[in-house]
Amino acid sequence: MTSTETTRAPATRQTWQRAAVRDLMERTEEFRTAQQVHDLLRKEGAKVGLATVYRALQSMAEADEVDVLRTPEGENAYRSCSRGHHHHLVCRSCGYSIEIHPEAMEQWARDIAEEHGFTDTGHELEIFGLCRNCSG
């Protein structure tokens, strides 16, 4: 019986912690690394472990609940986005991001794939730079 208790307790805590991560992501416009999400949650008084934040963000990314991209520093950053295909302009200083829908590029990607006989293609494109606030 003791073993059941010890496995159940962390699971309950993890559910609560995941809910806290999800809640924060839904309120965040910027791309955030797991470390930044962890810092923000601690600042709000949530006692969430960094490893749990990592796992929560990973599983949310796998479930397509958040978008994930690799920052110029090589870290994964996450953001709660609209569903559907889109790309991002990302500020490499503050993480501010907007979703973009570059139709001309989408068409080009389809054309170039077709030209070379590729099917079932996908692509990734993120544009990194400095936002208006950060370049001022």
Among 77, 65, 70, CA closest to 34:
77
- Looking at residue 67, its amino acid is D
Which of the ranges 19-27, 34-42, 66-74, 83-91 carries the binding residues for Zn ion, by CB under 5 A? 83-91
Distance CA 24, CA 43 (A): 12
Tell me how crowded residue 58 is: count the other CB atoms within 10 A of its CB: 15
> Is 112 a binder of Zn ion (CB under 5 A)?
no
Which of the ranges 7-15, 20-28, 96-104, 114-122 carries the binding residues for Zn ion, by CB under 5 A? 96-104
> Is 69 a binder of Zn ion (CB under 5 A)?
no
**Separation in Å, CA 95 to CA 13, 38, 64:** 29, 15, 20
> Is 128 a binder of Zn ion (CB under 5 A)?
no
> Is 131 a binder of Zn ion (CB under 5 A)?
yes
> Is 134 a binder of Zn ion (CB under 5 A)?
yes
> Is 93 a binder of Zn ion (CB under 5 A)?
yes
Among 119, 35, 128, 57, CA closest to 87:
128
Size of the site for Zn ion (CB under 5 A): 6
Which of the ranges 57-65, 76-84, 89-97, 113-121 carries the binding residues for Zn ion, by CB under 5 A? 89-97
**Which of 46, 96, 100, 113 lies at the binding interface for Zn ion (CB under 5 A)?**
96
What tokens appear for 92 in the block?
A: 């490499």
User: 84 or 117: whose CB is closer to Zn ion?
Assistant: 84
φ and ψ at 94, to 5 degrees?
Answer: -110, -10
DSSP letter at 105 equals H
For Zn ion, the binding residues (CB under 5 A) are 91, 93-94, 96, 131, 134
